[in-house]
A and B are shown apart, each in its own frame.
Chain A
Amino acid sequence: MNDLYQEVILDHAQHPRNFGVLQSPTHTFREMNASCGDMVEFYLLVQDNKILEVKWRGVGCAISTASASIVSEMIQGLSLEEVRKLDAIHVMKRMGISTIAPTREKCLMIPIKAVKQLDMDAK
Chain B
Amino acid sequence: MNTQLQNCRADFPILSREIHDQKPLVYLDSAATSQKPKVVLDAIQEYYQLHNANVHRGIHVLGDESTHIFHESRQRIAQFFGATENQLILTRNTTEALNLIAWGWALDHLSEKDVVITTEMEHHSNFVPWQEVCKRTGAKFEVVSVTQEGLLDLQDLSLKLHRKDGLRVKLVAVVHVSNAIGTRNPVELIAKMAHEVGAMVVIDGAQSAPHLPISFPSLGADVFAFSGHKMLGPMGIGGMIVSQHMLEQMNPVLFGGGMIDEVTTDLTTYADLPDRFIAGTPDVAGAVGLAKACAYLTHLNMNDVEQYDRELVVYTLEKISAVEHVKILGSLDSNKRVGSVAFLLDGVHAHDVAQVLDSEGVAVRSGHHCTMPLHRKFAWAASTRASFSVYSTKTDVDVLVSGLEKVKSVFNLG
Known: A36-B367, A37-B368. A59 touches B351 (CB 8 A): no
Asked whether A107 lies within 8 Å of B351 as measured between CB atoms, the reply is yes
Interface string of B356-390 (1 = CB under 8 A from A): 10110000001110001001000001100000000
In the complex, which residue of chain A has the Cβ closest to the Cβ of B358? A1
B351 near A5 (CB under 8 angstroms)? no
Pick the residue among B349, B356, B367, B372 that contacts A5 (CB under 8 A): B356
Contact assessment for B349 and A61 in the assembled complex, using a CB-CB cutoff below 8 Å: yes
* Closest CB in chain A relative to B344 CB, distance in Å: 12
User: Are A61 and B352 interface neighbours, CB within 8 A?
Assistant: yes
| B359–A1 CB distance below 8 A | yes
Inter-chain contact B375/A62, CB cutoff 8 Å: no
A63: which B residues are within 8 A, CB to CB?
Answer: 351-352
Q: When A and B form their complex, what is the total count of cross-chain residue pairs whose Cβ atoms lie within 8 Å?
A: 50
- Alpha-carbon separation in the docked complex, A104 to B375 (Å): 21
CB neighbors of B among A27-47 (8 A): 34-38
The CA-CA distance from A123 to B285 in the complex, in Å, is 52
Are B411 and A10 interface neighbours, CB within 8 A? Answer: yes
**Binary contact readout A86-108 vs B (1 if CB under 8 angstroms, 0 otherwise):** 00000000000000000010010
B355 at interface (Cβ–Cβ under 8 A)? yes
B350 at the interface (CB under 8 A from A): yes
Indicate if B322 sits at the interface (CB-CB under 8 A): no
Q: In whole angstroms, how far apart are the Cα atoms of A62 and B368 in the complex?
A: 17
The answer on a CB contact under 8 Å between A104 and B350 is no
* Cα(A33)–Cα(B137), bound, Å: 31
Across the two chains, which residue of chain A brings its CB closest to B368?
A37
Q: Residues of A contacting B20 with CB < 8 Å?
A: 1
B412 within 8 A of A: yes
| A-side contacts of B348, CB under 8 Å | 62
Q: Are B352 and A37 in contact (CB under 8 A)?
A: no
Task: Compute how far the CA of A122 lies from the CA of B350 in the bound complex, rounded to whole angstroms.
Answer: 36
Q: Is A4 an interface residue (CB 8 A)?
A: yes
- Given A2-B359, A4-B355, A62-B351, 19 new contacts (CB under 8 A): A1-B355, A10-B411, A14-B411, A35-B367, A36-B351, A36-B366, A36-B368, A36-B382, A37-B367, A37-B382, A38-B381, A60-B349, A60-B381, A61-B350, A61-B351, A61-B352, A62-B349, A63-B352, A104-B351
